[in-house]
Amino acid sequence: MNNVKKISAAVAQSPAQAIFVTSAQNRYYATGFASSAGELIICGDGHAALFIDARYFEEASRSISEVEVIRSNDKPVYEMMNDYFKAHNVTQLAVEEDSLSYAAYTGLQSKLEPAFVPGQAILRDLRAVKSDEEMEILIAAQRIAEKAYRNTLKLITPDITERELAAELTCQMLKAGAQDKSFDPIVVSGALSSVPHGKPRDVKLQRGFLTMDFGALYKGYCSDTTRTVAIGEPTAEMAKVYDTVLRAQLEAIGAAKAGMTGRELDGVARKVIEDAGYGEYFSHSLSHGVGIDIHEYPNCSPRSENVLRPGDVISMEPGIYLPGQFGVRIEDVIQITEKGCFDLTELPKTLEVYCA
């Protein structure tokens, strides 16, 4: 994967002559090469350079195309970068203003000669719209997570703890081919299922709902899925809440298409939950972008005015959380298209009952 040309073309349409890529995620998006260090410059004229130290120099030189790889141990790296800026007439430099700490931002300003201009949106907008290559990876990550989930369901017994089940879920993802988990799995049962981001405990599975939120990291990209199952027969209200969340998700997936704002799509799901009398218990947004980061652009919340575009990949995760009682969340990941969306997730959503 290499997106240098795509980034260069976007820089050419901006006020800057180059962009300074500082975050590890965006360096990976640009070059397909993962490293914990390196200063990547991409110019609007098509030139690009990665200043990187001896730890990564050999592998980067062999792995990266369309980028000049420069060993940064030979002289102070910022002197080398300033020489590069002069050679390419860079007087305005786009930077990742949201990713840099204040100390890092001001420190770079004191060392680099070009004037800084905001550049976060350049990379944010490009990363939101996924290419065919990225979609292949995202779908593969999703299938790994789904296989792991199915295998983990077989391990549910009255004697397993939340923490043990979370560990098994992670182990199953690694066995299925994940390079890592996308995030620490949320595996919570009983009354704790009312906490959207509850942490697994050293307690045996509690009767009520069991919520499992999990994802696999594969080739640098994340999957994200949530399923809720019942431990013991659900009560009438539990069944009603589950059905409400499922209807909210299905209606939002059915409505999703390019041209909608995030607020409009969030409103589709939120109305279903509000009409059922649970509006105050849907305490988070409907959606976030998914890709190299588990949470990225765009978002769908009551305040999101961003317009969804063909190729955007987002979660669909309505939830209802009754404090001290139980909670339900169902999450798929979809890709926005011109006329609708494509659901990457293939897991069933019928409420399953265990340990009855």
Diameter over CA atoms, the chain: 72
* Residue 110 and residue 139 in one domain: no
* Residue 75 and residue 161 in one domain: no
* Residue 35 and residue 110 in one domain: yes
228: left (phi over 0), alpha (psi -120 to 50) or beta: beta
Element (H, E) at 333: strand 332-336
Which of residues 127, 156, 190 is at a domain's end?
A: 127
What is the radius of gyration, based on Cα positions, of the chain? 23
* Residue 113 and residue 136 in one domain: no
| pLDDT higher than 90, residue 356 | no
* Residue 119 and residue 210 in one domain: no
pLDDT digits (tens, 9 = 90+) for 242-254: 999 999 999 999 9
d(CA 216, CA 196) in angstroms, rounded, equals 19
Cα dihedral value 292, 293, 299, 301, nearest 10: 150
Q: How confident is the model at residue 148 (pLDDT cuts 50, 70, 90)?
A: very high
Q: Is 210 helix (H, G, I), strand (E, B) or coil?
A: strand
- For residue 110, the tally of other CB atoms under 10 A from its CB is 8
Structure tokens given for 255: 């409505």
pLDDT at 75: 82
pLDDT at 172: 98
- For residue 86, the tally of other CB atoms under 10 A from its CB is 12
* Residue 78 and residue 153 in one domain: no
pLDDT digits (tens, 9 = 90+) for 310-346: 999 999 999 999 999 999 999 999 999 999 999 999 9
User: Which CATH number do you get for residue 349?
Assistant: 3.90.230.10
User: Which CATH number do you get for residue 101?
Assistant: 3.40.350.10
* Residue 158 and residue 306 in one domain: yes
* Residue 177 and residue 322 in one domain: yes
Q: What is the pTM of this model?
A: 0.96
Q: What is the mean pLDDT of the chain?
A: 97
* Residue 229 and residue 202 in one domain: yes
Which of residues 89, 104, 127 is at a domain's end?
A: 127
* Residue 58 and residue 14 in one domain: yes
For the chain, the domain total comes to 2
* Residue 202 and residue 349 in one domain: yes
pLDDT digits (tens, 9 = 90+) for 150-166: 999 999 999 999 999 99
d(CA 142, CA 145) in angstroms, rounded, equals 5
As a whole number, mean pLDDT of residues 222-239 equals: 98
d(CA 286, CA 265) in angstroms, rounded, equals 8
pLDDT at 142: 98
Residue at token pair 């009409």: 275
Which of residues 127, 151, 171 is at a domain's end?
A: 127
Is 18:41 a contact under the CB 8 Å cutoff?
yes
The dihedral of CA 131, 132, 137, 140: what is its sign? positive
Tell me which residue range forms the domain holding 146. 132-354
* Residue 182 and residue 205 in one domain: yes
- Nearest of 258, 225, 249 to residue 332 by alpha carbon: 225
pLDDT at 74: 73
Percent above pLDDT 90 for the chain: 97
pLDDT at 73: 77
d(CA 118, CA 126) in angstroms, rounded, equals 15
